[in-house]
Amino acid sequence: MTTSRTIRGNFLFKVSEYGDGTPFIVLESRQSQKELEKILVGFDLPNDTSLDRAKEIAHYLNQNLGDLQMTFFDGAAIH
């Protein structure tokens, strides 16, 4: 029998940069939730995306997406 556990979290899409200055978008939790403290979710952007464009994308995502829902199955990394 497969068991699962679903958690929801409210996140902020933020722009960060790799060491070479390449921007990417990362999710930052807006709440303290033990299960989410050990998770880092990031999104690489298309090559040559400027920092300003990355900020526009993050702003759009923050305005148009709600909570993130994650479901873990049979002993996945979340305890």
pLDDT in tens, 16-71: 999 999 999 999 887 776 766 777 889 999 999 999 999 999 999 999 998 888 88
Measured in degrees and rounded to the nearest 5, phi and psi for residue 76 equal -60, 175
Domain layout of the chain by residue ranges: 4-72
Residue from 6, 66, 73 nearest 33 by CA: 6
| Predicted pLDDT at 76 | 57
Tokens of 23: 């921007």
| Predicted pLDDT at 39 | 76
Give the residue with greater pLDDT, 39 vs 6.
Answer: 6
Amino acid (one-letter) located at 76:
A
| Predicted pLDDT at 60 | 98
| Predicted pLDDT at 77 | 58
Q: Across-strand partners of 5?
A: 72
Block residue for tokens 């002993």: 75
